[in-house]
Amino acid sequence: MSHTPGKWVAIKGIDDDAERWGVYTEGPQHFHLATIENGAPGDTLETEGHNARLIAAAPALLEALKKAVELIRLWHGMNIDKRLEPRGWRLYFDSPEMKIIRQALTMEEDV
């Protein structure tokens, strides 16, 4: 399973609430993906707007992260076969940065 494709946008003013933020697909028809609520103590409508924009950026961030993995592999000369060079592969695969990236990518895949 995958997320809703395409670009997402944050829009202020959903339903009958001109102040509430939502996340929609971009295009001629805006399909409603999420409504942003004040979730944490101290959250404001400004916080909702920041949260909505961050969520709307998720598809682009995911794609950038996937491309970053490939660039990191190339920069470190790790375009290697893990069966032939297990030590080099482990240094790359087990780096702190790659652990964080793999965790983030797994979150998207485990839905």
Please say if the pLDDT value at position 73 is more than 80: no
The C-alpha angle 71, 76, 80, rounded to 5 degrees, equals 90
Taking CA atoms, 35 is separated from 12, 13, 49, 87, in Å, by 10, 10, 11, 46
- pLDDT band with cut points at 50, 70 and 90 for residue 81: low
Instruction: Quote the CA–CA distance of 98 and 73 in Å, as a whole number.
Output: 10
pLDDT top residue among 90 and 27: 27
| Region label for 15, one of left (φ > 0), alpha (ψ between -120 and 50) or beta (otherwise) | left
pTM: 0.72
pLDDT in tens, 3-35: 888 899 999 987 777 788 999 999 888 899 999
